[in-house]
């Protein structure tokens, strides 16, 4: 990998972290991405009508790749589109290449599109070595910039104090315990805890155990195991030897042998890649937990100022009593029914098949026995809010309302996304999948008034079959304090991370949006979807802030409100070059604004639906067209007929089409491809005009400028020739 100058030792970096103020530390780092491709119109894909999609995928892969591979078992056929999404993972000498992915979309015997990040040169032994390069350390801490958003500061180190407390790296090179222990020294938020681990390295190592497994159905030569006893971890650590693609000093690509570790901590869940040759080298790390940023500063705690700038989500209208179940197709037994390898159980609390909602005032990892409101036999969940501005009333006083609101919102989001294609096969979150494919046992665990943080929220997306977890915090931005569970925009934003992470790259590969533009777009999709859901009725033409009520700031927690007007939101593709725009939330603001502008254009042409939910299925299971759908001109599918619902459909289907670790260009092309498949390309020019209006036209460019993924973005306003007259 390209040589980078060491600037700080590990102990210094940990001291620097100790003096910052933040609710959560998060490591995120990845090598520069090797060359990859995303092709929406393959030239040589002869149709094999009637063929098994996996046979079509096999024929395509045999003609396009030289190395070995396996088809991941989370490949699936979309129940809405009939398109089969096939995910292939590269394997060399029997060892998996963690970032070697090909995703194929197959329909009627033909490959419609594919993304390819396979290692393209058959490697020599030199290329399979573990090259020496500086250790990388990434800390998140508070920035004192104008808006006070969380910003990452990069530190790299050539030597660590920890190294002085352990013996010969050559000894036990293939011992994953060493890799896990070094990673915990890097990752733990408490600097004194990390120093203790470094000082007592060998003694700590001796107390840890590992159970080895040799190979599996996909990777016969891979060494894997389970590590127990790692201090700082809240569960056993899964470890597996894999390759990661890195750049050498000449800019070429080579493979680095690493231990892939899944490390669950109190406030993080890491997918980390640590060198097998030198376990002090951290090659790559992704945090499956994503945050919302904090508000500007504690200057906004003043009650009088809070009152003068108040924009409150609870004050948008009167509270109403809503039905307990949103959608019979998405939640056929209602939202309060669940089973665990036994008979179905009907609960009278906020415990159901899609969501487990409860308080977590103590901020613990434990959640099963935490308090939940009980609606009794009548299932009546009606609780008062009763907060008036300026009264020092604790959010605990309306805890029942808070948990109930979270349960309601999370189930609504589950059912809504289900109807647009995020179902069991696609990797959604359900305790029981009713035999509809996918991996179950992964209802969302969502905590109200979580005591582990403040002025924030987060969501963790592990692979399909493992619980998603969402934490909503109290915001110290007004008197009384405000409860993030009551700010629908923040809740929907966080839950949407589960959608984008499971759909991009496949249900069991949640790392695809872990870094760079992909991570930024993950934040952007959350904002766009939250804005789309909230933009109903008379307020659909309003300007929309994010987190305005929780933060007690009229314009919310982003640089600009979301608006079709460039005087209110001037974001362009080139905005990504700004100093404040290299962190995920800022990148996401640009992406969300582009999508919002296009969505408004779709509404201008196709009209607006006040209800985002499709019609309920008939007794025979079919869904009527109603006033919601029209027949597709290119197939048997039904097309949402209104602009806001059609845009929602295209965005979600675009996530399934785009490759792992997508760029803005990839995501743009995937949405345009989704429209081609759904409507025959009726909105081709509308989409191109919308993207180009914010600088993401055909001639927009991005050039990588540094090894950490920094890039220079250039606006492009060019549209296809056939669209110039429109």
- The residues annotated with a catalytic role in the active site are 494
Q: Specify whether the CB–CB gap between 87 and 100 falls below 8 A.
A: no
Give the max Cα distance, the chain: 73
Report the DSSP pairing between strands 355-359 and 444-448.
parallel
Q: Specify whether the CB–CB gap between 103 and 668 falls below 8 A.
A: no
40: closest CA among 111, 100, 91? Answer: 111
**CA torsion, ordered 188, 190, 191, 192, to nearest 10 deg:** -120
Residues 18 and 703: their CA atoms lie apart, in Å, by 35
Token pair of 489, please? Answer: 């925009």
**Strand, coil or helix: 383:** coil
- First and final C-alpha spacing in the chain: 48
Going from the C-alpha of 206 to that of each of 176, 181, 274, 386, the distances in angstroms are 13, 11, 20, 56
Residues 362 and 577: their CA atoms lie apart, in Å, by 41
- C-alpha triplet 405, 410, 416: angle, nearest 5°: 125
The pairs formed by 120-129 with CB atoms below 8 angstroms and a separation of 24 or more are 120/35, 120/253, 121/253, 122/66, 122/67, 123/92, 123/254, 123/255, 126/254, 127/254, 127/255, 128/92, 128/93, 128/243, 128/254, 128/255, 128/257, 129/254, 129/257, 129/277
Residue 63 main-chain phi, psi, to 5 deg: -90, -10
Token pair of 697, please? Answer: 């036209």
Q: Specify whether the CB–CB gap between 603 and 642 falls below 8 A.
A: yes
């Amino acid at each position: 990998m390209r040589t980078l100058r060491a600037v700080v030792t590990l102990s210094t970096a940990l001291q620097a972290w100790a003096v910052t103020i933040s609710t959560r530390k998060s490591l995120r780092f990845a090598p520069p991405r090797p060359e990859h491709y995303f092709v929406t119109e393959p030239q040589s894909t002869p149709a094999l009508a009637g063929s098994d999609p996996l046979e079509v995928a096999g024929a395509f892969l045999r003609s396009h790749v030289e190395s070995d591979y396996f088809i991941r078992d989370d490949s699936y056929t979309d129940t809405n589109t009939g398109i089969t999404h096939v995910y292939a993972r590269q394997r060399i000498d029997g060892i998996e290449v963690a970032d070697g992915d090909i995703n194929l979309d197959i329909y009627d015997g033909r490959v419609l599109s594919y993304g390819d990040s396979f290692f393209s040169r058959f490697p020599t032994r030199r290329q399979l070595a573990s090259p020496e390069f500086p250790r990388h350390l990434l800390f998140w801490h508070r920035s004192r910039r104008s808006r006070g958003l969380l910003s990452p500061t990069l530190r790299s180190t050539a030597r660590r104090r920890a190294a002085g407390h352990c013996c010969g790296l050559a000894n036990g090179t293939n011992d994953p315990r060493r890799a896990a222990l070094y990673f915990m020294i890097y990752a733990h938020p408490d600097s004194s805890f990390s120093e203790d681990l470094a000082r007592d390295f060998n003694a700590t190592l001796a107390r840890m155990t590992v159970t080895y497994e040799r190979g599996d159905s996909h990777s016969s030569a891979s060494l894997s195991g389970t590590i127990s006893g790692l201090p700082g971890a809240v569960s056993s650590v899964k470890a597996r030897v894999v390759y990661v693609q890195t750049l050498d000093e000449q800019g070429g690509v080579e493979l680095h042998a690493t231990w892939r570790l899944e490390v669950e901590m109190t406030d993080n869940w890491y997918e980390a890649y640590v060198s097998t040759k030198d376990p002090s080298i951290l090659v790559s790390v992704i945090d499956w937990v994503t945050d919302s940023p904090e508000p500007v500063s504690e200057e906004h705690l003043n009650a009088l100022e809070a009152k003068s700038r108040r924009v409150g989500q609870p004050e948008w209208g009167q509270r109403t009593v809503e039905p307990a179940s949103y959608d019979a197709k998405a939640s056929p037994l209602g939202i309060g029914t669940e089973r665990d390898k036994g008979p179905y159980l009907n609960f009278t609390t906020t415990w159901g098949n899609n969501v487990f909602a409860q308080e977590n005032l103590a901020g613990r990892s434990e959640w099963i026995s935490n308090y939940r409101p009980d609606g009794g036999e009548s299932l009546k969940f009606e609780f008062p809010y009763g907060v008036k501005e300026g009264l020092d009333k604790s959010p605990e006083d309306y805890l029942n309302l808070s948990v109930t609101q979270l349960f309601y919102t999370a189930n609504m989001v589950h059912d809504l996304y289900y109807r647009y294609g995020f179902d069991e096969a696609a990797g959604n979150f359900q305790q029981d999948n009713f035999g509809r494919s996918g991996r179950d046992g992964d209802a969302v665990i969502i905590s109200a008034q979580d005591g582990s943080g403040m002025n924030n929220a987060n969501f963790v997306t592990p692979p399909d079959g493992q619980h998603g977890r969402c934490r909503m915090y109290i915001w110290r931005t007004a008197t009384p304090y405000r409860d993030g569970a009551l700010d629908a925009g923040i809740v929907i934003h966080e839950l949407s991370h589960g959608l984008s992470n499971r759909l991009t790259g496949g249900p069991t590969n949640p790392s695809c949006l872990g870094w760079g533009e992909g991570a930024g777009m993950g934040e952007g999709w959350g904002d766009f979807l939250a804005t789309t859901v909230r933009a109903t009725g008379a307020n659909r033409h309003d300007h929309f802030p994010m987190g305005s009520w929780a933060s007690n700031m009229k314009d919310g927690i982003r640089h600009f409100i979301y608006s079709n007007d460039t005087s209110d939101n001037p974001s362009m593709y080139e905005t990504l070059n700004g100093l404040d725009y290299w962190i995920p939330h800022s990148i996401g603001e640009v992406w969300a604004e582009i999508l919002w502008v296009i969505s408004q254009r779709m509404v201008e042409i196709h009209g607006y639906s006040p209800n985002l939910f499709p019609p309920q299925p008939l007794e025979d299971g079919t869904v009527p067209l109603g006033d919601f759908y029209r027949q597709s001109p290119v197939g048997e599918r039904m097309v949402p007929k209104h602009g806001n619902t059609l845009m929602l459909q295209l965005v979600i289907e675009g996530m399934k089409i785009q490759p792992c670790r997508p760029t803005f260009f990839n995501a743009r092309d995937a949405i345009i491809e989704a429209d081609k498949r759904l409507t025959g390309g009726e909105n081709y020019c509308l989409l191109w005009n919308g993207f180009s209006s914010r600088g993401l036209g055909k001639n927009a460019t991005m050039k990588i400028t540094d090894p950490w993924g920094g890039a220079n973005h250039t606006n492009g306003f060019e549209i296809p020739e056939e669209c110039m007259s429109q």
